[in-house]
């Protein structure tokens, strides 16, 4: 072929924290209905090189300077079985400084057009000023990729080999990837979907897969337009506290996203994002009382969110670090430390009925919960404490045993546990007393291996696997039927399903937590959980994911975190399947009826909830050790050299 061993395309670029670039490669093999007699099916080759200086490889506080890359056919669907291994997507989750990622684009069947998508995402976590430099080259052979001089630098970003007239490359930036797709109808109504990232995370890269999957459901809504957005300015600020982050998100929604076309709104939060969006909702309800009268709240969804904090389900060294403020105000809030404006933790104050009663208005309230392999957020916290733990352990028994998990012990036999004292037939749906007592006692005993396994894996391992995730094997991508069951529990819980409160919570007829009595953290968690359940039902979807479950649950990277695909599929199918605004949701023959209570405030909000609405001095929002160290490292580097060279 003319053009053998020649470069076809070359481009230099760089991406910062939360940024990704997409290269859409289109190759017209032939035109017209007739297949040319001299057609050639020679492969095309792609190389991505991380050109960051090798000296920055270990500069984690400024980076890490790592790229994630994947290449797939445009029509690839994770639910479709792949017959030819040449159609299998390829990816590199950990492209270090000065390393290359090389892959072949095979033309193994005769068809008029081939289209591939190449994604390159930044793995920077700690610093929003630095960037990862890279080059992408496309050639007619492996040899053509060895010497960039075959494609003049002045042609950067253009197809530079005239022998490949049918090949074109479209480069898309992060902003272009997040653009709202063209409307499929003339309707001006819009459904605003807010995605909220977690601690030391970002929306733009970490939640891009979720965004694109939700947009695929647009065809189900012919009379409205989905608009998916996320607040980008909270990156590198997540140590400053839930209030700081929540106010930023609320103001973004009110000042930048809302207009007269917005008729519906949904919130989807991952990890800390679940609490951030809760604060934002309460803030909007308090400061802008008419908002949820004009805009219909549809979905409130959290994924692995520490709704009860992480005070008791973590090792002692983590608790001490939280209390000391090693991750700033946020860590102290998650540790259920009393706030500067009250003798109660922020999460307790946020669960005030007059605040969260706005959640009554949401059509659906769903919690996605990691049962295992999540060392960041304990199961009890993301599930609002109350689950049928005996049933959950039985379902997990086979999987954990087959994986030779060292923490696993057989599930508790209910016949050997204290009998259920509740014999009322109308309460058959309640969490059994034996199940609850077994969990509650083991929760206080951190030496119990079974409870430890359900509540916490290694925090250190989980942090490491954000950038270095254990990836699925090739069979996972080729054969959907070979994938393990992910959704292991899906049930709607109401206040009536809850077991009786622990005896220590009561003082007369009043919950002790509602007076000035000082509570242990474990007692405070139960009090907060019961406040969230008061008069509200919650759909709780428990999932069993392989490590890193905390980031797999949102598919942080399309293929490296592919174990979470079924979770996103479930989320989209359940919450964006069709326009059912007038149809109650049904699950297990139980119907969820919308709460029609009117949200009112009899007291001027700035007096009743001054702790929520008062804008603090910037110094009140404290960063932690990581952000401080990253800032100093960045300042030092900027004085001595340029990271962006």
CB 367 within 8 A of CB 538: yes
Catalytic residue from among 137, 204, 271, 451: 271
Rounded-to-integer distance, Cα 309 and Cα 301, Å: 17
Rounded-to-integer distance, Cα 364 and Cα 490, Å: 14
Closest CA to 199 of 333, 94, 344: 333
Strands of the 44-50 sheet, one edge to the other: 100-105, 44-50, 131-139, 7-16, 158-159
Tokens of 490: 């899906």
Alpha helices in 471-543 (DSSP H): 474-478, 521-533
Contacts of 435 (CB under 8 A, 6+ apart): 388, 389, 390, 391, 414, 417
Rounded-to-integer distance, Cα 440 and Cα 419, Å: 15
Whether the link from the prior residue into 562 is cis, omega within 30° of 0, is: no
In this structure, the number of other CB atoms found within 10 A of the CB of residue 279 comes to: 23
Rounded-to-integer distance, Cα 54 and Cα 508, Å: 67
271 is catalytic: yes
Tokens of 283: 């803030």
Whether the link from the prior residue into 164 is cis, omega within 30° of 0, is: no
Q: What is the number of residues in the chain?
A: 645
Strand 44-50 and strand 100-105: the pairing is antiparallel
CB 312 within 8 A of CB 521: yes
Task: At 65, give phi and psi (nearest 5°).
Answer: -85, 65
Rounded-to-integer distance, Cα 346 and Cα 324, Å: 17
Tokens of 520: 């242990």
Rounded-to-integer distance, Cα 469 and Cα 123, Å: 12
Task: Return the SS3 of 577.
Answer: coil
- The residues that are catalytic are 271
């Amino acid at each position: 072929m003319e053009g053998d061993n020649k470069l076809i395309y070359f481009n230099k670029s760089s991406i910062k924290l939360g940024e990704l670039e997409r290269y859409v490669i289109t190759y017209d093999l032939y035109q017209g209905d007739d297949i040319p007699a001299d057609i050639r099916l020679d492969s095309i080759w792609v190389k991505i090189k991380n050109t960051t200086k090798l000296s920055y490889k270990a500069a984690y506080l400024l980076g890490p300077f790592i790229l994630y890359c994947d290449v797939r056919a445009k029509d690839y669907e994770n639910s479709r079985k792949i017959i030819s291994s040449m159609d299998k997507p390829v990816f590199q989750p950990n492209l270090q400084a000065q390393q290359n990622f090389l892959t072949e684009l095979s033309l193994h069947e005769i068809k008029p057009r081939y289209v591939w998508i190449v994604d390159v995402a930044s793995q920077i976590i700690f610093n929003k000023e630095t960037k990862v430099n890279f080059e992408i080259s496309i050639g007619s052979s492996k040899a053509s990729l060895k010497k960039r001089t075959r494609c003049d630098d002045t042609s950067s970003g253009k197809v530079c080999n005239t022998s490949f007239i049918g090949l074109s490359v479209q480069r898309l930036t992060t902003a272009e990837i997040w653009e709202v797709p063209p409307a499929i109808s003339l309707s001006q109504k819009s459904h605003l979907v807010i995605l909220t990232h977690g601690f030391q995370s970002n929306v733009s890269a970490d939640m891009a897969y979720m965004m694109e999957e939700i947009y695929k459901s647009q065809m189900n809504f012919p009379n409205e337009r989905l608009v998916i957005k996320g607040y980008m300015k909270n990156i590198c600020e997540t140590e400053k506290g839930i209030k700081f982050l929540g106010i930023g998100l609320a103001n973004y929604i009110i000042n930048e996203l809302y207009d007269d076309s917005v008729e519906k709104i949904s919130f989807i939060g991952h990890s800390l994002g679940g609490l951030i969006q809760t604060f934002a909702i309460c803030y909007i309800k308090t400061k802008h009382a008419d908002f949820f009268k004009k805009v219909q709240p549809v979905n409130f969804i959290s994924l692995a969110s520490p709704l009860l904090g992480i005070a008791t389900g973590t090792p002692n060294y983590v608790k001490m670090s939280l209390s000391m403020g090693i991750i700033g105000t946020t860590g102290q809030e998650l540790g259920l430390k009393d706030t500067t404006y009250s003798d109660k933790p922020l999460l307790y104050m946020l669960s005030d009925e007059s605040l969260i009663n706005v959640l009554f208005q949401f059509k659906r309230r769903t919690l996605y919960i990691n049962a295992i392999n999540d060392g960041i957020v304990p199961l009890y916290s993301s599930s609002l404490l109350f689950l049928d733990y005996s049933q959950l352990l039985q379902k997990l028994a086979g999987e954990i045993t087959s994986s030779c998990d060292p923490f696993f012990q057989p599930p508790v036999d209910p016949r050997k546990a204290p009998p259920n004292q509740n014999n009322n037939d109308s309460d058959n749906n309640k969490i059994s007393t034996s199940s609850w007592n077994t969990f509650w006692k083991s929760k206080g005993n951190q030496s119990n291996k079974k409870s430890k396994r359900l509540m916490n894996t290694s925090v250190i391992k989980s942090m490491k696997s954000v950038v270095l995730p254990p990836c699925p094997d090739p069979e996972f991508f080729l054969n959907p039927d070979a994938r393990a069951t992910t959704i292991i529990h899906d049930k709607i819980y109401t206040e009536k399903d809850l077991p009786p409160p622990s005896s220590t919570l009561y003082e007369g007829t009043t919950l002790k937590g509602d007076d000035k009595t000082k509570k242990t953290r474990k007692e405070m968690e139960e009090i907060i959980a019961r406040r969230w359940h008061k008069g509200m039902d919650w759909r709780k979807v428990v999932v069993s994911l392989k490590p890193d479950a905390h980031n797999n649950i949102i598919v942080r990277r399309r293929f490296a975190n592919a174990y979470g695909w079924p979770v996103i599929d479930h989320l989209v199918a359940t919450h964006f399947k069709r326009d059912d605004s007038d149809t109650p949701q049904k699950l297990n023959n139980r119907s969820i009826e919308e709460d029609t209570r009117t949200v009112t405030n009899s007291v001027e909000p700035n007096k009743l909830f001054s702790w929520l609405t008062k804008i603090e001095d910037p110094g009140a929002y404290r960063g932690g050790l990581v952000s401080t160290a990253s800032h100093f490292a960045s300042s030092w580097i900027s004085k001595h050299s340029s990271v962006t060279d």
